[in-house]
Amino acid sequence: MCGIVGYVGHRNVVDVIFKGLTNLEYRGYDSAGMALLDQNEIKVFKSLGKLINLKNVLSESSAQLTAPTSGIGHIRWATHGSPSLENAHPHTCTCGKLAVVHNGIIENYKELREELIKKGCKFRSQTDTETIAHLVAHEYENAKDLEIAVRNAVKKLQGAYAICVMHQNVPDVIIGARKNAPMLVGVGEGENFIASDTPAIIEYTKKTIYLDDNEIAVVTKNSIKITDIHGAVINKKVETLPWEPVALSKLGYKHFMLKEIHEQPDIIRNILNGKIYDIDSPVVLNEVKIDKDTLKKLNKIQIIACGTSLHAAMVGKYLIEDFAGISVDVEPSSEYIYRKTTTDSSTLVIGVSQSGETADTITAIKQAKEKNSHVLIITNRPDSYMARLADSLIPVNAGIEVSVAATKSYIAQLISFYLLALHLGEIKGTLSGDFLKNIKHELIQLPTKIEEILSNASSIKECARIFSSFKNFIYIARGINLATAYEGALKLKEISYINATGYPAGELKHGPIAMLDETMPVLSILIPGGITYDKILSNSEEAKARNAKLIALTSSDDENLKALFDVVLKIPHVCEILSPAICCVPLQLLAYYIAEFLGKDVDQPRNLAKSVTVE
Ligand code: M6R
């Protein structure tokens, strides 16, 4: 949610910042802007909407620029104030000599703004961020030292911030500070960077210093100084990023989403490699740092997550209860944090997050830590703040996910839950040897089955064509695939803006059946051999009797289904317990192709952002 890039060094400043923002654009695209130090003067350029518009503004204004030597840039996902040019970052102080970009929300900005207006500051936007510009400028007037001014200013801020500040009287110095929002320093040679996330700097350096809360980084092209809120210098570890810039390329696919869907078989292979050596050996999950005796006695788990990660958590609940017999609660992080929970030191709390940055989940995890629970984090970003809060960390290793709609990270989370549930079951001795062999064998087969779906996607594309004109959908399922129905419907909503709802098939008759007619297609997830098949078939019949168009997603070979369903989407044979890892793929493709037919912006759907860093 929003993205920050700051640069000082020998390269073309505009190009470096623009490239960095391009690699962060999946985080927000309401507006973009840059402040550049050029000929001892701060020059600000802004545009509305996608980043490409900023490129146009910059080329139209090229006559105003000679050779900028440092700068800061931002892409915005609007929180305070509508997406408009005045509200776009960077924001400047009254005299325009100081510029700031900001991610997060300043909760006490109204009080600060009133005070600053009384002191003569002229505000030009509705944002909370502009308050920071005036506040730092005001502190600078007193302290005559930008570092001290930033330190004094952030002490007055309440809420969440990652900020990057520059002042024309302090040339080629960029200052970053953070609290409850990610920020890092990219370490180069004769150049240095400040950014809100690693994709912004990966083209130029893999060396990174992660700032912690209340730390301030003063960065020039040849120096990096990090201090705490009191000004004491801190020696921080320089870490090396684990991935390559190629991860940010579409590799010939039309969209990142399609590329990421196609990466799923190899992601599963990578995750299983090193965790399941053969079907006769236990799962190796050294990442879980709880001793075996404690694990054996464990009788309560709470899983907290948001969005797609929440759906993975729902599958996880089902698996852990089934394999290990441990009771599991699943809750949206944003609900967990506002109630009195029963979390205590004997609860294992699992946080699930693709980005590791989601504010709701971070707050929930912090609350669980305060109750002395062991916190296990399942994330795609082992470099994230959430990962650093973990007592145990399972990195899902899906690689950078650029498309705002989560796909490959979801399947990676699911596979991590299969491994965790098996691991817990093996420790507790709740699973038979035959079951363990079979399930491990079937897990290893998953990538090939998904490849089969991906190479026969034409039926899904045709289904998307037929149904792309419908305005409403219901996805029904029971048991372990209820989460699949939720996730399939969420994918469709996110990228096509169609009103799609996941619903427990058995609940249809308790209300939503009233909405059914020929305008409301019902998609049923039917896995034969399991305990839910016949019941969902009956629920589908009930929908048919109300003239709903029916789609089946099934591994059944029953030819009679063609008489009941308007479209039958076939998937390879799979046991019910593993079917969520197969069924999610055609639903991702269905959502993708419908959005494609409708001409939607698949990778960057309106109103969304990849990391939701506000509560
Ligand atoms: O990074 P997280 O997994 O914590 O993010 C949670 C949700 O914001 C995220 O899953 C969101 O729902 C995605 N857009 C789903 O496609």
Task: List, as one string, the DSSP characters of 140-179.
Answer: HHHHS-HHHHHHHHHHT--B-EEEEEEETTSTT-EEEEEE
pLDDT in tens, 173-222: 999 999 988 899 999 999 999 999 888 999 999 999 999 999 999 999 99
Does residue 2 carry a pLDDT above 80? yes
- Alpha carbon dihedral 546, 550, 552, 556, in 10-degree steps, equals 60
Contact 317, 344 (CB under 8 A): no
Choice between 61 and 504, residue whose per-residue pLDDT is larger: 504
Instruction: Quote the CA–CA distance of 397 and 410 in Å, as a whole number.
Output: 11
- Rounded mean pLDDT, 285-311: 93
Ligand 1 pocket test, pick from 355, 363, 491 with the greatest ligand atom count within 8 Å of Cβ, gives 355
Task: Report pLDDT for 613.
Answer: 72
Q: Where are the domains of the chain?
A: 3-247, 252-447, 458-597
Task: Report pLDDT for 518.
Answer: 95
Tell me the CA–centroid distance for residue 72 and ligand 1, in Å.
Answer: 27
| Nearest protein Cα to ligand 1, atom 14 | 405
- Alpha carbon dihedral 455, 458, 463, 468, in 10-degree steps, equals 100
Tell me the CA–centroid distance for residue 167 and ligand 1, in Å.
Answer: 36
Tell me the CA–centroid distance for residue 440 and ligand 1, in Å.
Answer: 28
Instruction: Quote the CA–CA distance of 415 and 412 in Å, as a whole number.
Output: 5
Topology match between the domains 252-447 and 458-597 = yes
- Rounded mean pLDDT, 564-569: 97
Confidence at 246, pLDDT banded by 50, 70, 90: low
| Nearest protein Cα to ligand 1, atom 11 | 307
Does residue 439 carry a pLDDT above 90? yes
Residue 232 CB partners (closer than 8 Å, separation 6+): none
Could you list the active site residues? Answer: 2, 610
The CATH architecture one would assign to domain 252-447 is 3-Layer(aba) Sandwich (3.40)
**Domain 458-597, CATH homologous superfamily name and number:** Glucose-6-phosphate isomerase like protein; domain 1 (3.40.50.10490)
Q: Which atom of ligand 1 is nearest to the CA of 355?
A: 1
Amino acid at 545: A
Q: Which atom of ligand 1 is nearest to the CA of 358?
A: 4
Q: Are strands 224-227 and 215-219 parallel, antiparallel or unpaired?
A: antiparallel
The phi and psi torsions of 432 (rounded to 5 degrees) equal: -75, 155
Confidence at 245, pLDDT banded by 50, 70, 90: low
Tell me the CA–centroid distance for residue 310 and ligand 1, in Å.
Answer: 8
Which helix (DSSP H) or strand (DSSP E) does residue 494 occupy? helix 482-496
**Residues within 6 Å of ligand 1 by CB:** 306-309, 353-355, 358, 361, 404-406, 494, 608, 611-612
Distances (CA, A) of 431 to 88, 316, 579: 56, 17, 19
**Domain 3-247, CATH homologous superfamily name and number:** Aminohydrolase, N-terminal nucleophile (Ntn) domain (3.60.20.10)
Amino acid at 492: L
Distances (CA, A) of 274 to 270, 282, 285, 290, 384: 8, 11, 9, 20, 23
The residues that bridge with 210 in the sheet, in sequence order, are: 184
Does residue 615 carry a pLDDT above 90? no
Does residue 69 carry a pLDDT above 90? yes
Would you give the end-to-end CA distance of the chain in angstroms? 11
Give the 3-state secondary structure of residue 206: coil
290, two tokens: 């709880």
- Rounded mean pLDDT, 314-327: 97
Instruction: Quote the CA–CA distance of 566 and 544 in Å, as a whole number.
Output: 10
Task: Report pLDDT for 1.
Answer: 67
Contact 581, 448 (CB under 8 A): no
pLDDT in tens, 15-65: 999 999 999 887 777 899 999 999 999 999 999 988 999 999 999 988 888
The residues that bridge with 8 in the sheet, in sequence order, are: 70, 192
pLDDT in tens, 102-119: 998 899 999 999 999 999
382: burial class by Cβ within 10 Å (0-12, 13-18, 19+)? middle
Confidence at 296, pLDDT banded by 50, 70, 90: confident
Across 284-354, the runs of DSSP E, i.e. the strands, are 300-305, 327-332, 348-353
